[in-house]
Amino acid sequence: MELESIGTPPGGDRETGDESVPQGSDPDRDIVELIHRGDVRGALTTLMRRHGTAVYRYCREELHDRTLADDVHQQIFIQAFRDLTRFAGRSTLRTWLLAIARHRVLDAAKARRRAQAHIEEDDTADAPDPGPPPGERLDEARLQQAMITCLRRLGEHVRGILVLRYQQGLTFEELADMYRQKPGTLQARVARALPTLRRCIEARTGGTV
């Protein structure tokens, strides 16, 4: 598989339900200007309006726990408010925000693992999904359902990269900043992960992607 063919960056043409971003080197330049003017509260308000939903979906996908995701989502923006004045512009504001989100999600997941260490793993995730007759193409709903299960089996690191890459639309360069790895390395990981994901989905459902 050619690495260059992996994924068209989802970019700003997706409908997220959020406020459209202004043009410029950083789409959130207006927020950065608010920070520079000392209006940190105004900056936070715009940041929440613009990226709140996307960050929330990231939390939900990574944590698979609505209550925990609600809490972590709010904590992310509270931390962002505290750190906004230190935003140095080395990345876009959105990448910076997602880096905060990633760390908070990892912390929350780690805390949950510690708390539930004594509880046996829920094995419902391993139960095969009821699927169509073998070889039949999966419908969208079944594909989504199986994909969520299979993403959890990919491992935290790869899953995080896939979610940030596709759900959040980060470029490999932005991911490289966040993960402190080379863009090509991350691209190769994604290239390897997608067929694995496909095989998992097809094995679980008996259908084809």
Partner 1 sequence: MNDKEPIARLEHALEQLGAEHEPPRGWEARVLAAVEPKPRRRWWWLAVPALAVVLAVVLLPALLSPRPGALALTIERIPGPTRARGDTQVGDRIHATARGGAGHRAIWVYRGETDLVAVCPGGTGCSASGGALALDFALDRIGSYHVIALAGAAELPVPHGAYDEDLAAAMAAGATDQRQVIEVQ
With beta carbons less than 8 A apart as the criterion, state whether 183 and 173 touch: yes
Are 137 and 97 a contacting pair, CB within 8 Å?
A: no
Q: Which is nearer to partner 1, 24 or 195 (CB)?
A: 195
Nearer Cβ to partner 1 (53/181): 53
**Residue with Cβ nearer partner 1 (10 or 132):** 10
170-199 residues in contact with partner 1 (CB under 8 A) are 194-195, 197-198
SS3 74: helix
Number of residues that bind partner 1 (CB under 8 A): 45
Using alpha carbons, select from 139, 117, 118 the residue that is nearest to residue 130.
139
**Which one among 144, 157, 182, 203 touches partner 1, defined by CB under 8 A?**
144
In 3D space, the residue among 111, 100, 47 whose CA is nearest the CA of residue 76 turns out to be 100
Query: Which residues, other chains included, contact 19 with Cβ-Cβ below 8 Å and sequence gap of 6+?
Result: 46, 49, 50
Cβ-contact 204, 150 below 8 angstroms = yes
Q: x-or-dash pattern for partner 1, window 59-88, by CB under 8 A? A: -xx--------x--xx--xx--xx------
| x-or-dash string of contact with partner 1, 88-127, rule CB under 8 A | ----------------------------------------
Q: Interface mask (CB under 8 A) for partner 1, residues 32-61, using x and -?
A: ---------x--xx--xx--xx--xxx-xx
Beta-carbon contacts of residue 35 (< 8 Å; ≥ 6 apart):
43, 84, 85, 87
CB-based contact 93:26 (threshold 8 Å): yes
Decide if residue 5 touches partner 1 (CB under 8 A).
Answer: yes
**By the criterion CB under 8 A, which residues form the site for partner 1?**
1, 5-8, 10, 14, 17, 41, 44-45, 48-49, 52-53, 56-58, 60-61, 70, 73-74, 77-78, 81-82, 140, 143-144, 147-148, 162-163, 165-167, 169, 194-195, 197-198, 201, 208-209
